[in-house]
């Protein structure tokens, strides 16, 4: 990849009005590195991740987990059953084993490709991403974990971090014990919810909530609050007492 080809892509982006980007060339331990920095307006987003809706953004956009995964999982199970029926040391067994490995690799590749595209899409649109600090190990113990993949959420969050760094974005991790689902984002009142309560109404202010969207908005507010706490000193020094929550 040459610097020229990157510059061309940059100008294409500008023409289409998607965003603007520039590249910084740095020499690090003798290796030339190119860092891409996207210039956009200050656009924060909160993300609620789950297994029913893989991601829900504070803009109310939901992305379902891909269906191909389940379809391929069935194929994999069938191939594994075939493998179990073959005789040890036979040519058929070797063939069946190869087929299982191939399907497994295909699932892995498709999953990574899907996660990659989804993470890039978010990072290109938003420059501050507020997301829950996931307890993946705790999550996979629940029966919900089989819906997509034990590792997909963890991989996705890692990809978000990596791509955010590459694009000059910021990821703010919110404490996993922060009650994002049951807190009304409008009046901050907590309501006891069960896992099956997908829609609920705040008994104090009467706001009707979609559980995931409410959680994503809370994630955004809490992430921006954490960000503000981390930069309080510099803001005070500049005499700028901005409340980041009000920006939304
Ligand atoms: Zn309320």
- Expressed in angstroms and rounded, the spacing between residue 32 Cα and the centre of ligand 1 is 53
- Expressed in angstroms and rounded, the spacing between residue 177 Cα and the centre of ligand 1 is 20
- Given a cut of 60, whether residue 174 has pLDDT beyond it is yes
Prediction pTM value: 0.69
- Expressed in angstroms and rounded, the spacing between residue 180 Cα and the centre of ligand 1 is 13
Q: pLDDT tens across 43-64, in order?
A: 999 999 887 888 999 999 999 8
- Catalytic positions, written as ranges: 48, 132, 212
Q: Which of 16-20, 65-69, 134-138, 149-153 has the lowest mean pLDDT?
A: 16-20
CB of 40 closer than 8 Å to CB of 124: no
From 170, 168, 180, select the one nearest 49 (Cα to Cα). Answer: 180
- Expressed in angstroms and rounded, the spacing between residue 55 Cα and the centre of ligand 1 is 23
Phi, psi at 18, each rounded to 5°:
-70, -60
Helices (H), 201-245: 211-230, 232-237
Write out the two tokens for 159: 């990809």
Gap between the Cα atoms of 32 and 132, Å rounded: 34
Strands 170-174 and 128-132: parallel
């Amino acid at each position: 990849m040459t610097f020229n080809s990157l510059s061309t892509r940059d100008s294409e982006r500008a023409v289409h009005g998607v965003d603007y980007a520039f590249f910084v060339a740095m020499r690090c331990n003798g290796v030339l590195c190119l860092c891409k920095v996207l210039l956009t307006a200050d656009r924060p987003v909160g993300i609620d991740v789950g297994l029913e809706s893989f991601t829900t953004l504070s803009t109310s956009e939901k992305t379902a987990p891909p269906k191909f995964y389940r379809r391929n999982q069935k194929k994999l199970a069938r191939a594994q059953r075939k493998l179990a029926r073959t005789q040890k040391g036979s040519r058929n067994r070797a063939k069946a084993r190869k087929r299982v490995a191939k399907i497994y690799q295909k699932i892995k590749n498709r999953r990574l490709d899907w996660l990659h595209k989804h993470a890039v899409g978010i990072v290109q649109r938003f420059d501050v991403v507020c997301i829950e600090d996931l307890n993946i190990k705790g999550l996979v113990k629940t029966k919900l974990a089989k819906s997509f993949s034990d590792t997909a959420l963890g991989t996705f969050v890692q990809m978000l971090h990596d791509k955010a760094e590459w694009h000059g974005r910021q990821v703010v991790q919110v404490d996993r014990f922060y009650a994002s689902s049951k807190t009304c984002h409008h009046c901050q009142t907590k309501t006891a919810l069960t896992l099956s309560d997908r829609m609920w109404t705040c008994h104090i202010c009467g706001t009707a909530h979609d559980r995931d969207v409410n959680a994503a908005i809370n994630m955004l507010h809490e992430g921006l609050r954490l960000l503000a706490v981390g930069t309080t000193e510099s803001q005070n020094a500049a005499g700028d007492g901005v409340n980041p929550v009000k920006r939304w």
